[in-house]
């Protein structure tokens, strides 16, 4: 992931594909598969899975 104030208004984006993380997560939580998202946004599926795992954890 990249957070660069000169790209995407500083919102976190994936280094490959330059998709905004929030956009990909919104679509995942709307029940789209990681494979479909990886193909559409040009982001490797393993990177998508890592972001989903980190953002979906409950607080202890």
What whole-number distance in Å separates Cα of residue 16 and Cα of residue 37? 13
Is the pLDDT score of 49 beyond 70? yes
Distance CA 43, CA 28 (A): 13
For position 59, what pLDDT does the model report?
60
Q: How many CB atoms lie within 10 A of CB 34?
A: 17
* Contact assessment for residue 1 and residue 15, using Cβ atoms and an 8 Å cutoff: yes
**pLDDT for the residue numbered 7:** 74
Domains of the chain, residue spans: 8-55
Instruction: Give the C-alpha distances (Å, rounded to integers) separating 42 from 15, 26, 47.
Output: 10, 16, 11
pLDDT tens digits, one per residue of 32-41: 999 999 999 9
Residue percentage of the chain with pLDDT more than 70 = 88
Share of the chain above pLDDT 90, in %: 50
Whole-number Å distance between alpha carbons of 29 and 32: 7
């Amino acid at each position: 992931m990249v957070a660069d104030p000169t790209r995407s208004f500083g919102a976190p984006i994936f280094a490959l594909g330059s998709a905004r993380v929030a956009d990909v997560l919104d679509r995942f939580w709307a029940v789209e598969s990681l494979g479909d998202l990886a193909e559409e946004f040009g982001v490797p599926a393993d990177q998508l899975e890592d972001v989903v795992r980190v953002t979906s954890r409950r607080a202890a």
